Amino acid sequence: MSQVTQSSATSGKRKALPKKDISLGDRVQRLFTSLCAQIDAGHFTNAIKTCDKVLRLVPDDRDAKQTKLFLLLQTERYSDALALLGPSNEKFVFERAYSSYRLQRLDEAARLLDGIKQRQEQDRGSTHLEAQLNYRQGNYQIAIDLYNQLLDSSDPGSDEYSDILTNLQASQKHLDFINADYLRAVDGLSSKHAPPPVPPSTSHGTSLGVVPAINKAEDAGREPIPVRGVRARRVPKGVVPGVTPPPDPERWLKKSERSTFQQARIKRKGGGGATQGVVESVGGSATGGHTGHGRGGAHGRGKKKK
């Protein structure tokens, strides 16, 4: 029984098969297969990581470098593209010029394009870039000539034709503005003289608030300033805008510091003494000037009440 159980136990345990060593060529081939699938699906970020894996295995693989450069340009990582190319790479000069142009390094891009023209290696892509560079630098006439050259050799039904036509129209508008519209606007400003300012009047009519006729004519041509209405939610309950009197501006002061409190104290003290004018006495005679006392008539002080 023991032998049977041991044999069954050993047969139940499966031994792990040793992994087969994959050759370098097979690993690179698998990575390139994954790379093609990622590019077709539009997963450019993952495709760049796959290129890095290939370059770690084969640092001098040209296909991996070129594919990574394409992916970096597609994802607008122009600084990384220049770092991948290096300063002494003469093969991808156009890619260096385009990356420099997108990074606003216009002088560097123009220098690289001049080198391409001297070697007579300029193609449609270089012509496109040269036209865009001249447009960015304000050389609109040169950009128009280059766009016309590209437009004559492109298919009218293609997307390239519509893009070139749009850029050509933009360059033509800028050139027309500089040559005609700008000068016309400057001449219009120089021909229009502002009227002299009206001196401040010190007449009696102005001091009373009468506005001169010139000011009224100027104000008549102006648009009235819109008056914003009061928001209903900000109006307290029971208050009607324009009808309810405004609150007391001294409501935040102490009562002893308010102006109404001082006036009330003066009224309580008796109004400031005797009155002036003509006062008739009890006998019927009139006496002028001040009366003898503030109250009690001509008989002096009145009797105290018990």
Whether pLDDT at 100 is above 90: yes
Can you spell out the DSSP letters for the chain?
Answer: -HHHHHHHHHHHSPPPPPPPPPPHHHHHHHHHHHHHHHHHHT-HHHHHHHHHHHHHH-TT-HHHHHHHHHHHHHTT-HHHHHHHH-TT--S-HHHHHHHHHHTT-HHHHHHHHHHHHHTT---HHHHHHHHHHHHHHT-HHHHHHHHHHHHHTS-TTSHHHHHHHHHHHHHHHHHHIIIIIHHHHHHHHHH--PPPPPPPP-SHHHHTTPPPHHHHHHHHHSPPPPPPPPPGGGSPTT--TTTSPPPPTTTTS-GGGSHHHHHHHHHHTTSSSPPPS-EE-TTS-EE-S--SSSSSGGG-SPPPP-
Q: What is the pLDDT of residue 6?
A: 55
Which of 74, 132, 66, 121 is CA-nearest to residue 94?
A: 121
Q: What is the pLDDT of residue 87?
A: 77
Instruction: Quick: pLDDT tens for 58-98.
Output: 999 999 999 999 999 999 999 999 999 987 777 889 999 99
Q: CA-CA distance, 178 to 183, in Å (whole number)? A: 7
Q: CA-CA distance, 191 to 185, in Å (whole number)? A: 10
Residue position matching structure tokens 């009218």 = 156
236 or 191, higher pLDDT: 236
- To 10 degrees, what angle do helices 62-74 and 24-41 make? 20
Band (290; pLDDT cuts 50, 70, 90):
very low
Instruction: Quick: pLDDT tens for 159-212.
Output: 999 999 999 999 999 998 888 766 677 666 665 555 555 555 544 444 444 444
271 contacts 279 by C-beta, under 8 angstroms: no
Which residues, in sequence order, are CB contacts of 39 under 8 Å at separation 6+? 47, 67, 71
User: Which residue type does 28 have?
Assistant: V
Whether pLDDT at 266 is above 60: yes
Average pLDDT, the chain: 76
